[in-house]
């Protein structure tokens, strides 16, 4: 016990000399932790704001918000659980910041709140969506085998085929963003997959 304490003390002194986080006071570290907790608590509000903003952006013939709502409504109508419905609602949330790899952003945001399968589906859905428009552009859809043969590939295909790809309809009646707000708040209030060390 004594040697453990001495080791910790030595390490702290080393860190202070190196000029990293060890230079910060305990109060400063606690302040950062508190700030991160507030950011986490406000995540739902910021995501709702982003979704409302998506009403002003088009994706094919509908707004990005309408596309998100149709995707989530279709998943809900098919009996998906709350976490999957939220994933469907947010699957394109990274579109305005990283259009070509927006799945990475949505998946990273969702990671604490969904299982590994749903995370993988969201992350890779752009690859599977491409099968529907590559032929129109004269391109061959040929994703790497590592993706096509992945254990969650069929789930991603299902997500695209049943929920994402059909969600550009001008006649489908989707639930409103207000309708999904309670489920979004419920799911984001209960992380299930927080990485070790967080």
C-beta atoms surrounding 153 within 10 Å: 19
Taking residues 66 to 105 in sequence order and writing x for each that binds Fe ion by CB under 5 A, - otherwise, the string is: --------------------------x-------------
Task: Give the whole-angstrom CA distance, residue 60 versus residue 73.
Answer: 19
Q: Are 168 and 71 in contact (CB under 8 A)?
A: no
User: CA-CA distances (angstroms) from residue 11 to 22, 51, 127?
Assistant: 9, 45, 46
Question: Which residue in 164, 174, 177, 184 binds Fe ion (CB under 5 A)?
Answer: 164
Smallest distance, Fe ion to C-beta of residue 45, A = 23
| Residue 66 or 92 having the CB closest to Fe ion | 92
C-beta atoms surrounding 14 within 10 Å: 11
Query: How many chain residues interact with Fe ion (CB under 5 A)?
Result: 2
Smallest distance, Fe ion to C-beta of residue 88, A = 9
Smallest distance, Fe ion to C-beta of residue 174, A = 13
| Residue 3 or 56 having the CB closest to Fe ion | 56
- What number of CA atoms fall less than 13 Å from residue 174's CA on the CB side? 28
Smallest distance, Fe ion to C-beta of residue 177, A = 16
Q: Provide the binding-site residues for Fe ion, judged by CB under 5 A.
A: 92, 164
């Amino acid at each position: 016990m004594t040697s453990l304490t001495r080791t910790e003390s030595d390490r702290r002194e080393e860190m202070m000399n190196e000029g990293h986080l060890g230079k910060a006071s305990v109060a400063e570290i606690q302040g950062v932790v508190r700030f991160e907790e507030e950011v986490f608590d406000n995540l739902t509000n910021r995501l709702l704001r982003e979704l409302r903003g998506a009403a002003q952006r088009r994706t094919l013939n509908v707004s990005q918000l309408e596309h998100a709502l149709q995707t989530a409504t279709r998943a809900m109508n098919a009996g998906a659980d709350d976490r999957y419905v939220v994933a469907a609602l947010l699957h394109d949330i990274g579109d305005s910041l990283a259009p070509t790899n927006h799945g990475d952003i949505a998946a990273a945001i969702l990671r604490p709140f969904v299982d590994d399968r749903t995370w993988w589906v969201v992350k890779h859905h752009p690859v599977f969506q491409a099968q529907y428009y590559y032929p129109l552009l004269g391109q061959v859809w040929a994703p790497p085998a590592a993706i096509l043969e992945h254990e969650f590939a069929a789930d991603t295909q299902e997500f695209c085929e049943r929920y994402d790809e059909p969600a550009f309809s001008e006649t489908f009646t989707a639930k409103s963003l207000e309708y999904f707000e309670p489920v979004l708040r419920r799911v984001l209030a209960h992380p299930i997959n927080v990485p070790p060390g967080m």
